[in-house]
Amino acid sequence: MSASALMRAGKMIPHILTCIVGIFVAGAVSGATGVALPLIAGPLFLLTYSPVEAVALTALCSITGQLFSIALLRRAIAFEFRMPLLAPGLLGAPLGGALLTRLAPSMVHYSLGALIVLGGAWGLFQPTARTPRPAGVASELLVGFTGGLTAGLVGASAVVPALWCTWRGLSKEQQRAIMQPYILAMQLASLASLTASGSLSGLLLDDYTVVLMPLLFGVGCGVTCFHFFSSGIVTRAVLSLVTLSGLVLLLA
């Protein structure tokens, strides 16, 4: 191996280690909360990959993590496929994917960072509802469409729906029952849209295989912790991580 090849390999090692550690943390938080993997993995991948590649890799990891955690929790949680959320979301995801391929990378960085910080900070300062609030059809349709749009645009479908669940005062089980099938559907739609546009490369699958095992191990650890956390702790953890991941992206 030549000296230049050795130097390139040496530069890649910190990047690989960062991705492995980062995706393990993202998987663990996602396993514990059900919603946070794209919010942590998305900013991490955007530091290294182009926006299209980062969104696609985030979608792959999110789909894998959601399927694994749903399988682990299938006996504890009755998951819901809510069409007023899913249907408009599936319309918004391709639109977001089309916008992604046309926007400058810096605009994607700052748009995602600002969305995450504002949404997370707003949620943290909201009082906790004592009794669950009912879901209005109009608000549910709007939340579903917005989540799909942000899934295609920046790989983060959970920000607005998570804030909506928090505002409604849902328990940790109710939040996961609604959010996990929704996130799974939006990430599948986002990935399908990017694949159809020819924006993905085969090299991305190689990177996905590198982070697969840390991702699964992290999700497994997080799901184990989920049973020991109260609904209030889970909600505050989600909102705090939402805000922190957005700040990292804005300041990077």
> Distance between CA 222 and CA 245 in Å, rounded?
18
Q: How confident is the model at residue 97 (pLDDT cuts 50, 70, 90)?
A: confident
pLDDT digits (tens, 9 = 90+) for 25-80: 888 888 887 777 877 787 788 777 887 888 888 888 989 999 999 999 888 888 88
Please count the other Cβ atoms lying within 10 Å of the Cβ belonging to residue 161.
Answer: 26
pLDDT of residue 56: 84
* Domain span at 172: 3-251
More confident residue, 174 or 202: 174
* Number of domains observed in the structure of the chain: 1
Most confident of 31-40, 73-82, 157-166, 243-252: 73-82
pLDDT of residue 182: 92
> Distance between CA 57 and CA 31 in Å, rounded?
18
Judge contact between 48 and 108, C-beta under 8 A. no
Flag whether pLDDT at 231 surpasses 70: no
pLDDT of residue 173: 85
pLDDT of residue 13: 59
Name the least confident of 68-82, 184-198, 237-251: 237-251
pLDDT of residue 125: 73
The pLDDT mean for the chain works out to 79
Q: C-alpha angle with apex 146: 138 to 175, nearest 5 degrees?
A: 75
Flag whether pLDDT at 148 surpasses 60: yes
Burial of 237 (0-12, 13-18, 19+ CB in 10 A): middle
Q: How confident is the model at residue 133 (pLDDT cuts 50, 70, 90)?
A: confident
> Distance between CA 79 and CA 145 in Å, rounded?
20
Locate 51 and state its tokens. 């926006």
Q: How confident is the model at residue 11 (pLDDT cuts 50, 70, 90)?
A: very low
pLDDT of residue 127: 63
